[in-house]
């Protein structure tokens, strides 16, 4: 990666600009605060914001959210939009875990209903939800079934008895991205996906029981079905080995053809193809398959979570009232229409570690949320909890309908493991009131709370900048990790 001097100019309390230099086609804009910038230290994500601005067809600016940190090619927390006629698509702008995302389930339960059963719940969830590196589920899909998953997404899972039509209504894109073509997915990727459906995975993936601690916007909270003291579940997972392999396959293909692009780039990790080329179209079709796999995966995880609550608490589905609030993805590229210089343009919006944030009235939203705006789910580290926010018109106008996706790392996994050496992380979490179970101690060491930025600081930036508004804050009760 070429080293380029990064100049940050403060625009206001929440925005810093990187002026066009060298081969940059547009300026960079970083949403952050002075405190978060200082905390980044030597993280090179601002340089990656600059590098992304070199890509052909990029529109308006290269963006980064306050949870940004170094990633492959694009920074994690990066957003960039490209003209569909003259622009490119880059797997590094989507990420390896295609359609990694969050799903929140609300319930009729209050914390008092589970206070004495939290340990039972975390043990049962850990037993019933397959997790960990290379974990496999109870299903082994036939070739025909896997093709159906890759094209139908959540709807396939529901058709097999894993949930209801109501779940599909409150899933982004109704849980199925158009244009998916299994023929564009390699045999190796197909094989990796065959027995991983319905598994949580490893790393920062989790399933967490939370309690609503504070309401900021009563009107929107009521529309989302949230109230103080209420029990909710947040699931964070993605497309597993299938998505990783698709990214790897297409990066290899595009790196080989970089010279044919005819455009000098400062980093080979920005390997890309023209959106209108065969390689670009093939990647979009394969990426959609991974996105649909991820939606089906989270749908099944939710179904087993409901079953676990029913059996552990000995309550009926009606008594539990476990309902999908929303499912959002945050590693994706989508063809969407936005205003650019006074006219509407069709763009390919890359959101890598960034969440969609659509305003009230947008036709892509479920009817039940159209008056208030899109639910935005922002998880923190395993000891913090999460925020529910709502999409805004300002995000639609300024950031291609995008906001942050989480707390964002400040330590690498290796660094976090060194810092936590000799510590009993599970015991520390229990002392903080959060019961944690994981398939290995290594995961807990990598995921210590101090490895992440403070969630409140990140959320405050996007709230003050108007990219999404606070609706509710939830605290962790128990968590299972891979």
Question: Residues marked as binding for GMP?
Answer: 204-208, 330-331, 379-382, 386, 405-408, 481
Contact 453, 408 (CB under 8 A): yes
Up-side HSE of residue 31: CA atoms within 13 Å toward CB?
30
Structure tokens at 408: 């964002």
Among residues 174, 303, 350, 405, the one annotated as catalytic is 405
Q: Is 405 a catalytic residue?
A: yes
> Which residue numbers belong to the known binding site for Mn(2+)?
97, 205, 236, 330
Q: Kindly report the three-state secondary structure assignment for every residue of the chain.
A: CCCCCCCCEECCCCEEEECCCCCCCCCEEEECCHHHHHHHCCCCHHHHHHHHCCCCCECCCEEEEEEEECCCCCCEEEEEEEECCCCEECHHHCCCCCCCEEEEEEEEEEHHHHHHHHHHHHHHHHHHCCCCCCCCCCCCCCHHHHHHHHHHCHHHHHHCCCCCHHHHHCEHHHHCCCCCCHHHCCHHHHHHHCCCCCCCCCCCCEEEEEEEEEECCHHHHHHHCCCCCEEEEEEEECCHHHHHHHHHHHHHHHHHCHHHHCCCCCCHHHCCEECCCHHHHHHHHHHHHHHHHHHHHHHHHHHHHHHHHHHHHCCCHHHHCCEEEEEEECEEEEEEEEEECCEEEEEEEEEECCEECCCCCCCCCCHHHCCCCCEEEEECCCCCCEEEEEECHHHHHHCCCEECCCCCECCCHHHHHHHCCCCCHHHHHHHCCCEEEECCHHHHHHCCHHHECCHHHHHHHHHHHCCEEEEEEEEEEEEEEC
Residues with catalytic function: 405
């Amino acid at each position: 990666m070429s080293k380029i001097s990064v100049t940050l100019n403060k625009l206001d309390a929440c925005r810093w600009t990187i002026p066009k230099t060298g081969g940059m086609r547009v300026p960079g804009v970083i949403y952050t605060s002075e405190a978060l910038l200082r905390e980044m230290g030597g993280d090179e994500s601002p340089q990656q914001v600059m590098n992304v601005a070199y890509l052909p067809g990029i529109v308006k600016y290269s963006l980064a959210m306050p949870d940004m940190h170094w990633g492959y090619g694009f920074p994690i927390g990066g957003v960039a939009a490209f003209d569909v006629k003259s622009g490119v698509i880059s797997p590094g702008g989507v990420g390896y875990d295609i359609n990694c995302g969050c799903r929140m389930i609300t319930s009729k339960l209050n914390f008092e209903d589970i206070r004495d059963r939290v340990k039972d719940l975390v043990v049962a969830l850990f037993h019933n939800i397959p997790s960990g590196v290379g974990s496999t589920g109870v299903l082994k899909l036939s070739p025909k079934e896997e093709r159906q998953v890759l094209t139908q997404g959540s709807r396939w899972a529901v058709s097999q008895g894993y949930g209801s039509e109501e779940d599909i209504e409150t899933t982004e894109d109704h849980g199925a991205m158009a244009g998916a073509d299994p023929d564009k997915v390699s045999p190796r990727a197909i094989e990796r996906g065959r027995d991983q459906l319905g598994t949580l995975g490893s790393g920062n993936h989790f399933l967490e029981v939370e309690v609503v601690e504070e309401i900021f916007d009563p009107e929107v909270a009521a529309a989302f079905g949230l109230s103080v003291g209420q029990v909710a579940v947040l699931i964070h997972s993605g497309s597993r080995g299938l998505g990783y392999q698709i990214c790897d396959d297409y990066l290899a293909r595009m790196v080989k053809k970089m010279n044919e692009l005819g455009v000098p780039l400062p980093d080979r990790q920005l390997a890309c193809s023209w959106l209108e080329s065969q390689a670009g179209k093939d990647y979009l079709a394969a990426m959609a398959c991974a996105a649909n796999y991820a939606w089906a995966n989270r749908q099944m995880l939710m179904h087993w979570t409901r079953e676990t609550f029913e059996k552990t608490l000995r309550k009926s589905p009606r008594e539990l009232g476990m309902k999908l609030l929303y499912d959002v993805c945050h590693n994706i590229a989508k063809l969407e229409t936005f205003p650019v210089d006074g006219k509407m343009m069709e763009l390919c919006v890359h959101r890598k570690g960034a969440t969609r944030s659509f305003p009230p009235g947008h036709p892509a939203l479920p009817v039940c949320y159209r008056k208030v705006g899109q639910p935005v789910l922002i998880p923190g580290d395993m000891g913090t909890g999460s925020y529910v926010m709502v999409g805004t018109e300002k995000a639609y106008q300024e950031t291609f309908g995008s906001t942050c996706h989480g707390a964002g790392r400040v330590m690498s996994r290796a660094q976090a493991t060194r810092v936590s050496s000799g510590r009993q992380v599970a015991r520390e979490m229990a002392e903080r009131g959060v019961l944690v179970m994981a398939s290995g101690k290594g995961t807990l060491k990598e995921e210590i709370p101090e490895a992440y930025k403070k969630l409140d600081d990140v959320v405050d930036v996007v709230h003050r900048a108007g990219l999404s508004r606070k609706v509710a804050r939830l605290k962790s009760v128990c968590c299972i990790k891979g």
